[in-house]
Amino acid sequence: MKMDGQLEFPLKSARRVAINVTQLVRMVRETIEANLDEYWVVGEISNARLAPSKHLYFTLKDARSAVSAVMFNSAYRRLRFRVEDGMEVLVRGRINLYEARGSLQFYAEEMEPRGAGALQVAFEQLKQRLGAEGLFDDARKRRLPFLPQTVGIVTAIGGAALRDMLRILLDRYPNLHIIVRPTRVQGQGAAAEIVAAIGDLNADGRAEVIIAGRGGGSLEDLWAFNEEVVARAIRGSAIPIVSAVGHEIDYTIADFVADLRAPTPTAAAQMVVPDKVQLRERVEETAATLAGAIESAVAAQHKEIEHFAARLRDPRNLIRQGRQRADEAAAELGAALAGRIEDTRRRVRELGARLGSPVARAAAITMRRTRIETLMCRLETAVGSTVETRRIRLGGIAGQLDAVSPLKVLDRGYALVAMRADGRVVTDASAVELGDELDIRLKRGRLSARTIGREV
C-alpha cells in the first residue's frame, strides 16, 4: 500500500517466519513493480559504458542521489546522439530491483538531451568529430569540371527538386547527358540507399560530377544527409560531389564534406554547367579581342621591320665608313709617332751641342744612342701592337656588319629587289606600278625586269 509517496510493507503476522534472501529480494521487486509506474527522470550521466552486447550502462545522478541505469540494445539503437559523461538528459523508464545484486536499477527506454533536441546534439557531435578528422578541410575539396558532358544526380524520383534540376540543366546546356540514380532521401534506410547510389555512379564512371540532394524540410526530414555513412561516401567518391540539400538556411553534414555546397538544388544545377548561350558569347568576345591583339602585334612588327630596313638600306656604306675611320686613326698614329721621333732627335742634337770634349761627347752620344735605340724598339713594338689591335677590332666590326647584312640572305636563294629609277628597295607590292623597271640582285650577278603584274 502506498501512503504519502512512500511504500508501506504491511506485517502479516508477529509470528517469526524465516525467508531466504532470494525470496526477500523478489518480494521487494514485486512490490515495486506493482506500485511504481513508468516515469520521466531528469539527471546527469556518469560512468557511461557500452558493453560488447551493445547494452548501455550508466549512472543517473543529481546533487544528492544516484541510481544505476541500463538501456538495452533495442532502445539504444534508436538514439540519434552519442551518450557522454556530464550530459544532462531526460530519461523515460521504470525502476526495478536487480535480483542478482539486490540493487535498484533504472531501465531506460527513451532518452533526450536536456535543453536541446537529440537530433541537434547528434548533428553537433558528428560535425565536431568529422571536422577533427579533417573531412571538411578545403585542401581535400576538388574543383568541378568546367564543362562536363555527363552529370549524375542522386535524389528522389518524381520530386520537385529533380524536376527543377533537370529543367535548369537542359535549359542551360541542351547537349548535356544526365544520369539519374533514384533513391529515398528520408526515413529509415534512406542513408544506406544514398550511399549505394553514390557507389553506383562511381562504378558506372561516366558522370564527371554528381549532384546529391533533395528539397527542403525539417531537421528530421533532412537527417539522412547528416548520417556518418553518407558523409564518408561523399568523401570517398572519386567523382566530385555537389551537396544540394534543402533551402539556403539548411545545413547538413553532407554540405560540409562535399566538394561544393549549393544553397538549393536549383542553384546546384546552375553551378554545375555554364549557360551555352552565354558561353558562346564569351567565346566570340574572346576571339574578337584576340584577333585585334594579333593585328596590332603584326602591324607593330611591320613598322619595326621597315625602320630597320631604312637604317640598313646599304650596309656597305657602314663598312666603308669603318675602313675610313681606321685609315684616319692610322694616319693620326703615324703623325704622332713621327713627331715623337723628331722631338727625340732634336733633344739629342741639343745634348750634343751642350757636351764639351769630343771624348765626353762621344761617351754621351753613345749612351744617348743606346737609350734612343731602346726607346725606338719599345716604340716600334707598341706601334705594331696598337696597329694589330686596331686591325683585329676592324675585322670584328666588319664581320658583325656582314652577319647582319641583308645581302647574306642571297646565299640562301633569296633576292634583293630595288627600283631601277632611284635604287629604293621594294618591300611592298603596292609600291610598284605596272611597267616599272626593277633591278634584281642575286648571289651572283643581277637581273633587270619590268613589272607586268602584281598581287597586293
The arithmetic mean of pLDDT across residues 324-348, rounded, is: 79
- Note the pLDDT tens digit of each residue in 222-278: 889 988 999 999 999 999 999 999 888 878 889 999 999 999 999 999 999 987 776
Q: How would residue 422 be classed by pLDDT, with cut points 50, 70 and 90?
A: confident
Q: Buried (b) or exposed (e) across 397-435, using 16+ Cβ within 10 A?
A: beeebeeebeeeeeeeeeeeebeeeeeebbeeeeeeeee
Q: How far is CA 218 from CA 119, 154, 158, 214, in A?
A: 11, 20, 20, 12
Q: How would residue 122 be classed by pLDDT, with cut points 50, 70 and 90?
A: confident
DSSP lists the bridge partners of residue 278 as: none
3-state DSSP assignment of residue 193: helix
pTM reported for the whole predicted model: 0.46
- 87: pLDDT strictly greater than 70: yes
- 8: pLDDT strictly greater than 60: no
Q: Do domains 2-115 and 122-274 have the same CATH topology?
A: no
CATH code of the domain made up of 122-274 = 3.40.50.10550
pLDDT of residue 395: 76
User: How far is Cα 37 from Cα 145, in angstroms, rounded to an integer?
Assistant: 62
Q: How far is CA 369 from CA 169, 348, 375, 376, 381, in A?
A: 108, 9, 10, 10, 18
- 408: pLDDT strictly greater than 70: no
pLDDT of residue 3: 43
Q: How would residue 5 be classed by pLDDT, with cut points 50, 70 and 90?
A: very low
Q: How would residue 15 be classed by pLDDT, with cut points 50, 70 and 90?
A: low
Contacts of 76 (CB under 8 A, 6+ apart): 50, 54, 55, 56
DSSP string, 221-266: TTGGGGSHHHHHHHHH-SS-EEEEESSTT---HHHHHSSEE-SSHH
3-state DSSP assignment of residue 415: coil
Assign domain 2-115 to its CATH architecture: Beta Barrel (2.40)
- 451: pLDDT strictly greater than 90: no
User: How far is Cα 195 from Cα 185, in angstroms, rounded to an integer?
Assistant: 11
pLDDT of residue 200: 95
Domain boundaries of the chain, sorted by first residue: 2-115, 122-274, 315-404, 411-450
For residue 123, count CB atoms less than 10 angstroms from its CB and return exposed for 0-12, middle for 13-18, buried for 19 or more.
Answer: buried
- 9: pLDDT strictly greater than 60: no
Q: How far is CA 197 from CA 181, 273, 392, in A?
A: 6, 22, 83
For residue 56, count CB atoms less than 10 angstroms from its CB and return exposed for 0-12, middle for 13-18, buried for 19 or more.
Answer: buried
pLDDT of residue 233: 94
- 2: pLDDT strictly greater than 50: no
Top pLDDT among 233 and 395 is at: 233
Q: How would residue 12 be classed by pLDDT, with cut points 50, 70 and 90?
A: low
Dig out the grid coordinates for 386 from the structure.
696598337
- How do beta strands 39-50 and 56-61 pair? antiparallel
- 335: pLDDT strictly greater than 60: yes
- Note the pLDDT tens digit of each residue in 161-184: 999 999 999 988 888 999 999 999
3-state DSSP assignment of residue 274: coil
- Note the pLDDT tens digit of each residue in 61-72: 887 888 889 999
